[in-house]
Amino acid sequence: MSAWPGKYVIGLTGNIASGKSVVRRMLEHAGAFGIDADALSHRAIQRGAPGYQAVLDAFGTYVLKGDGEVDRKKLGSVVFADPEALKLLESIVHPLVRQAVDYLAGNSIQQVIVLEAIKLLESPLAEACDSIWVVTAGEAAQLERLHTQRGMDEAEARRRMAAQSPEWQKAAKADVVIDNSGTLLETWEQVKDAWKKLFPRLTGETVPSRLPGMGKVGAGGLHVLRARPREIREITDFILRQNGAGETDANRLLSAFGEKAILLLRDQQGLQGLLGWKVENLVARVDDIHMAKDEKELEMLAFLVEEMETASSELQCEVALVFVEPQLAAQRELWQQLGYEERFPHELTVTAWQEAALESLPPGTVMLFKQLRADRVLRPI
């Protein structure tokens, strides 16, 4: 029985660069509410957060960057080389992460929660889970990902890997093991099969079409649904029909189908628009918008963005970041009515928001920002 009444909790773990986050996002597509405990641990030690001063007291100003934020690479080089230092850091961070997890899980409207944590099995969070899932990848895949995705040399990568228990030990404690050493499609099939076994009544077509908060119907039957895999061909054809959209645009959007949701705007005449939408670390991000050329285009775009916001709020997002082409950003009256402002990443007041903006900002686009709620997880007391 999980720690949160009425919730079924999947505890998701695996070693560094195994692909835990990929599997978590797949479970979110299947209908779970995802909590990234490792991202919460980063938030817990950012400037102004409850763990910031405690980290300085324990490790000194050496671990700071020039802007006063904790340099996680420096801190990591210290704690991964010294087991006692790692225990000290965990004693600071783990209680704060549990506080944040309790808040998010307790306020989630989803029946299933997936809780991702690299040290789940070593922490009290494991006791709050109904099922333990372990993601494996193998040494070769881990080394390649650490090099290509995080820029680590082999010596540093092996040191990080050696600081963790072997994959086989984690897998031995798992209820479900996902092998993520192959293609995304192969991983998705494993996730889909395991989900069906656990939740046959929640399955439908595996990906739920209606998202939390969605359901409003506008003029002419206007409504928003999440795209299903069977609609890939329709989406591709729609993108190719729009001015300035070519095969590359369609392929880029569809290649990310497993990483983010594609929200479809339909009316009685069919598909009228779509946007690529992802929620990560309590930040909603929109990095693809395609609308049918119509005299009501801006009205329909407003409906689509408002539905995205509603769903994002139900997923407890703090802010929404929308990345658009300059010509769409020029529709300032529309965006002002929707409550958005043009911002540069460095102008955002919260480090987690800045990091999300820098990570997601496509070249040549304008970032539009809107705060969805005033309260923040891990706001210092």
- For residue range 111-131, what is the model confidence (pLDDT) as tens digits? 999 999 998 998 889 999 999
CATH code (residue 237): 3.40.630.30
Task: Give the pLDDT score at 212.
Answer: 56
Question: Residue 161: which pLDDT band, with cuts at 50, 70 and 90?
Answer: confident
- Alpha carbon distance 5, 288 (integer Å): 37
Task: Give the pLDDT score at 333.
Answer: 96
Distance, CA of 163 to chain centre: 26
Average pLDDT in the 88-97 region?
94
User: Which of 202, 232, 256 is the last residue in one of the domains?
Assistant: 202
The end-to-end CA distance of the chain, in Å, is: 31
State the residue for tokens 């193998």.
138
Residue 208 lies in a domain: no
Average pLDDT in the 173-185 region?
92
- For residue range 210-248, what is the model confidence (pLDDT) as tens digits? 555 566 888 888 999 988 777 878 888 888 887 655 566
SS3 content of the chain, % helix, strand, coil (to 5): 50, 20, 35
Task: Give the pLDDT score at 204.
Answer: 47
User: For residue 214, what are the contacts with CB-CB under 8 A and spacing of at least 6?
Assistant: 223, 224, 225, 307, 310, 311
167 and 23 inside one domain: yes
pLDDT over 90 percentage in the chain: 62
Mean pLDDT in the chain?
A: 89
CATH code (residue 16): 3.40.50.300
Task: Give the pLDDT score at 157.
Answer: 87
Average pLDDT in the 15-40 region?
91
38 and 92 inside one domain: yes
Residue 277 lies in a domain: yes
Residue 98 lies in a domain: yes
Residue 379 lies in a domain: no
Identity of the residue numbered 328: L
Question: Residue 361: which pLDDT band, with cuts at 50, 70 and 90?
Answer: very high
Q: Decide if 365 contacts 324 (C-beta within 8 A).
A: yes
233 and 100 inside one domain: no
- Alpha carbon distance 343, 287 (integer Å): 15
Q: How many domains does the structure of the chain reveal? A: 2
230: containing domain: 219-371
Residue 271 lies in a domain: yes
Nearest to 108 by CA among 260, 224, 4: 4
Residue 2 lies in a domain: no
| Between 163 and 267, residue with greater pLDDT | 267
Task: Give the pLDDT score at 295.
Answer: 87
- For residue range 278-329, what is the model confidence (pLDDT) as tens digits? 999 999 999 989 999 888 999 999 999 999 999 999 999 999 999 999 999 9
- For residue range 340-351, what is the model confidence (pLDDT) as tens digits? 999 999 999 899
- In this structure, the chain runs to a length of 381
User: Which of 202, 231, 256 is the last residue in one of the domains?
Assistant: 202
- Alpha carbon distance 308, 311 (integer Å): 5
Task: Give the pLDDT score at 381.
Answer: 38
Neighbours of 321 (CB within 10 A): 23
3-state DSSP call for residue 378?
coil
Alpha helices in 4-82 (DSSP H): 20-30, 37-44, 52-59, 72-79
- Alpha carbon distance 104, 377 (integer Å): 8
Structure tokens at 31: 């209908």
The answer to whether the predicted template modeling score (pTM) of the entire model surpasses 0.75 is yes
Residue 381 lies in a domain: no
Task: Give the pLDDT score at 215.
Answer: 66
